[in-house]
Chain A
Amino acid sequence: QVLLQESGPGLVKPSQTLSLTCLVSGDSIRRRGYYWSWLRQHPGTGLEWIGYIDYRGSPYYSPSLKSRLLISQDRSSNQFSLRLSSVTAADTAVYYCARTSVEVAKIRFDPWGQGTLITVSS
């Protein structure tokens, strides 16, 4: 069974950098063909894809967040991470990590972590 677990600080001050980690068990983030995504859900709104990193360690970011975003992986601990700089209240959301399948014209997220709530406030 593949399980993903997000971990993060819970509260981040405006203008600071948000750092999150996703620990993967039951699968290897180096397994060929899979990508590893971050997504978020703002309070009361729909889902938003943030970006992913592939099994080789190459990231791809949502254009709307690209200038503030860094996604990396730690193969030795089977984790991947998100760093979002210069956060504002608009970055308050539940953040999810998910294993991602990507093919031409196809993308799907399965499974997901349970999510971690991040609040940006002074």
Chain B
Amino acid sequence: QSVLTQPPSVSAAPGQKVTISCSGDSSNIGRNYVSWYQHVPGTAPRLLIYDNDERASGIPDRFSGSKSGTSATLGITGLQTADEATYYCGTWDTILNDGAFGGGTTLTVL
């Protein structure tokens, strides 16, 4: 059971926009910054977004992040088939004194 809650899957057509939600509580997202990772099976997970809304080096501006209260959102515009992957949110949980991740959201570009 993951500490953070993400929808299991989302889908959209090429060129469209999708958002992926990440819900936590006051001990994790509510008081710490959020990062987002892209994972294609068999490859190394890749940092997309850190500090809630900062794009990592080399990440196109089609990817964006935001946070409000105890929830965070990853946005992807201009969807490409190459964006098909599983996306994870992550942060620190101050009460648990532990890393906290979501269960992952699999994106399908139809």
Contact = CB atoms under 8 A, between A and B. Distances in A.
Interface of A: 4, 39, 45-49, 62-64, 96, 98, 101, 105-115
B99 A62 contact: yes
B92 A96 contact: no
Given A45-B2, A105-B32, A111 B44 contact: yes
B68 interface: no
A105 B101 contact: no
B51 interface: yes
Interface of B: 2, 31-33, 35, 37, 42-47, 50-51, 56, 88, 90-92, 96-104
Given A46-B2, A46-B103, A109 B35 contact: yes
Contact of B56 (A48, A107, A110): A110
B51 to A, nearest CB: 6
B98 A49 contact: yes
Contacts of A108: 35, 47, 50-51, 90
B15 to A, nearest CB: 28
Residue of A46, A63, A101 with most partner-chain B CB within 10 A: A46
Interface of A is mostly: strand
A96 B91 contact: no
A112 B99 contact: no
Contacts of A96: 44-45
A98 B44 CA distance: 10
B73 to A, nearest CB: 17
A107 B43 contact: no
Of A64, A108, A110, most buried by chain B (CB within 10 Å of CB) is A108
Contact of A105 (B33, B44, B56, B96): B33
B69 to A, nearest CB: 15
Contact of A114 (B35, B43, B98, B99): B43
Given A46-B103, A105-B33, A114 B44 contact: yes
